[in-house]
Amino acid sequence: MTSITCRRILLKLSGEALMGPDAFGYHGETLAGIVKQIDEVAALGVEIGIVVGGGNLFRGATGALSGMDRATADSMGMLATVMNALALKDALMAAGVPAQVMTAVTIAHVGEPFERDAAVRHLEAGRVVIFGGGTGNPFFTTDTAAALRAAEIGADLMLKATKVDGVYSADPKKDPSATRYDELTFDEAIARNLGVLDTAAFALCREQKMPLQVFSIFKAGALKRIVHGEAEGTRVVP
């Protein structure tokens, strides 16, 4: 196998990924599979930061659509991401992987308030750092939080874990003729309206020249193959 190509990565993990085939909450077997992939990469000496979403518990945008004030709904969504961060930390620790939760929303006795230098120290000490609370502000998605944290910790690569194995020309579930891209530039992805990340996250990644890898977290060993530089999913480059 090839040598490691990434010293430090930021993994964006959706809340929906944690619920697997279930309609809500957490699916034990799915969570164990995700933890196994993280453990494999951590064992290689790669420093791992994770931004986790909250869609398996609550979505701020959905709450706003039902008539709730958007800022209030987004605040509830941030709390859902903190719950997911705690669940992921617990699963990692149970597997013997050191982990630390840091939150953009201060909650005493739950996780450390996010502070860049402290996060880097945790990473350098070999801990997986799970960032909960999004950016700490309403109206921003966890995609944007992931791009922000990736830039702040000096990640070599941002990875977006999805249910499909990369970026397609159309929704492969709806269009059998959809083709998967092996590599794209940020400008191409925006021009083709592929919806890989939200606009703010895309702009930040492009400005920071942060490469992005979109892949399926449900393919065994996918994360390990990526850090070894092997072809997996779709690479989006500046």
Q: What is the DSSP code (8-state) at residue 3?
A: P
Residue 142 is assigned to a ligand binding site: yes
Helix (H) or strand (E) holding 16: helix 15-19
Residue 30 is assigned to a ligand binding site: no
Residue 49 is assigned to a ligand binding site: no
3-state secondary structure of 237: strand
Q: Is the CA virtual torsion 17, 230, 38, 51 positive or negative?
A: negative
The order of strands in the sheet holding 212-216 is 112-113, 99-103, 128-132, 47-52, 8-13, 157-162, 212-216, 234-237, 183-185
Nearest to 10 by CA among 149, 135, 103: 149
Say if residues 119 and 152 touch (Cβ distance below 8 Å). Answer: yes
Residue 62 is assigned to a ligand binding site: no
Residue 141 is assigned to a ligand binding site: yes
Residue 53 is assigned to a ligand binding site: no
Say if residues 83 and 42 touch (Cβ distance below 8 Å). Answer: no
Residue 215 is assigned to a ligand binding site: no
Residue 26 is assigned to a ligand binding site: no
Burial 8-17 (b: 16+ CB within 10 A, else e): bbbbbbbbeb
Residue 59 is assigned to a ligand binding site: yes
Q: Return contacts of 113-122, CB within 8 angstroms, 24+ apart.
A: 116/152, 116/153, 119/49, 119/149, 119/152, 119/153, 120/153, 120/154
Residue 14 is assigned to a ligand binding site: yes
Say if residues 100 and 122 touch (Cβ distance below 8 Å). Answer: yes
Residue 140 is assigned to a ligand binding site: yes
Residue 15 is assigned to a ligand binding site: yes
Residue 33 is assigned to a ligand binding site: no
Q: Which residue has the tokens 């060993």?
A: 221
Residue 171 is assigned to a ligand binding site: yes
Residue 166 is assigned to a ligand binding site: no
What are the binding residues for ATP? 12-15, 55, 59, 162, 168, 171
- Bind-site residues: 12-15, 54-55, 59, 74, 135-142, 162, 168, 171
Annotation: binding site for UMP: 54, 74, 135-142
